[in-house]
């Protein structure tokens, strides 16, 4: 397990009891971490203070898209502190790609994805659609997740330094 996936496991998924994809309840995780989640017709953000964090979720998006954004902001919350407004663009984009990868691990942990893919292989189901459905994630997100999954299996990822193919997935 990469350091980033470990962080997701220890800081976010361990907050609740999770065994199956449909148990990844982000609102419950936010509640356990005492993060207030508000639903508004504006861009999703993480704000508030360290003691009173607030995530605003863009309610104009689909449920699956909101799920990705909530996961993204929760990952920022546990991994990054500091206002990105006062950050160099390079460091900000590094944090963003880190967060994109963490979001994938949060919404579809590697071991669950492996189980799902194994089950699908025996039933001859198309993986992409099925992964999107069972993990309740948008189709394009599922595609990037599977790309990352395959990449990590061909070249196990130990560091947080992204290779070029990883960047293509994470910045797409
Ligand atoms: Zn972000």
pLDDT in tens, 38-52: 999 999 999 988 889
Average pLDDT, rounded, for the chain = 89
Q: Is the pLDDT of residue 79 over 70?
A: yes
124 CA to centre of ligand 1 in angstroms: 36
The vertex-20 CA angle with 72 and 145, nearest 5°, equals 45
C-alpha–C-alpha distance, residues 133 and 128, integer Å? 9
Q: Are 148 and 104 in contact (CB under 8 A)?
A: yes
Is the predicted pLDDT of residue 159 greater than 70, yes or no?
A: no
The pLDDT score that the predictor gives to residue 141 is: 97
User: Given this model, what pLDDT does residue 61 score?
Assistant: 97
Going from the Cα of 54 to the center of ligand 1, the distance in angstroms, rounded, reads: 14
Residue 84 Cα, ligand 1 centroid: separation in angstroms? 9
Q: How far is the CA of 118 from the centre of ligand 1 (A)?
A: 32
Q: What tokens appear for 42 in the block?
A: 């504006």
Provide Rg for the chain, Cα atoms.
16
Q: Which is higher by pLDDT, 153 or 134?
A: 134
Helices 127-134 and 139-154 cross at an angle (nearest 10°) of: 110
Pairing status of strand 36-40 against strand 53-58: parallel
Q: What is the distance in A from the centroid of ligand 1 to the CA of 123?
A: 37
CA of 76 to the centre of ligand 1 (A): 7
Q: Which of 44, 108, 124 is nearest to 76 (CA)?
A: 44
At residue 96, the pLDDT reads: 93
What's the gap in Å between 122 CA and the centre of ligand 1? Answer: 37
- Say which residue, 172 or 74, is predicted with more confidence: 74
Give the residues across from 57 on adjacent strands: 39
How far is the centre of ligand 1, averaged over its atoms, from the C-alpha of 96 (Å)? 5
Nearest CA among 74, 79, 129 for reference residue 106: 74
Closest CA to 5 of 108, 95, 74: 108
Torsion, Cα 101 16 48 8, to 10 degrees, reads -20
CA of 78 to the centre of ligand 1 (A): 12
CA of 15 to the centre of ligand 1 (A): 21
Q: Look at residue 17 and tell me whether its pLDDT is greater than 60.
A: yes
Q: For residue 119, report the distance from its CA to the centre of ligand 1, in Å.
A: 33
């Amino acid at each position: 397990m990469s350091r980033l996936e470990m962080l997701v496991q220890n800081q976010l998924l361990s907050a609740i009891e999770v065994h199956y994809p449909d148990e990844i309840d982000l609102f419950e995780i936010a509640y356990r971490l005492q993060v207030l989640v508000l639903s508004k017709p504006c861009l999703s953000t993480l704000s508030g203070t360290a003691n009173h964090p607030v995530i605003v979720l863009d309610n104009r998006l689909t449920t699956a898209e909101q799920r990705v954004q909530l996961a993204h902001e929760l990952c920022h919350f546990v991994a990054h502190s500091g206002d990105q407004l006062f950050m160099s663009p390079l460091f900000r984009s590094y944090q963003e790609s880190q967060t994109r990868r963490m979001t994938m691990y949060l919404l579809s942990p590697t071991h669950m994805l492996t189980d799902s893919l194994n089950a699908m292989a025996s039933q001859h189901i198309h993986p992409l659609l099925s992964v999107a459905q069972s993990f309740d994630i948008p189709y394009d997100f599922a595609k990037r997740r599977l790309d990352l999954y395959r990449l990590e299996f061909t070249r196990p990822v130990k560091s947080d330094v992204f290779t070029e193919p990883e960047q293509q997935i994470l910045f797409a």
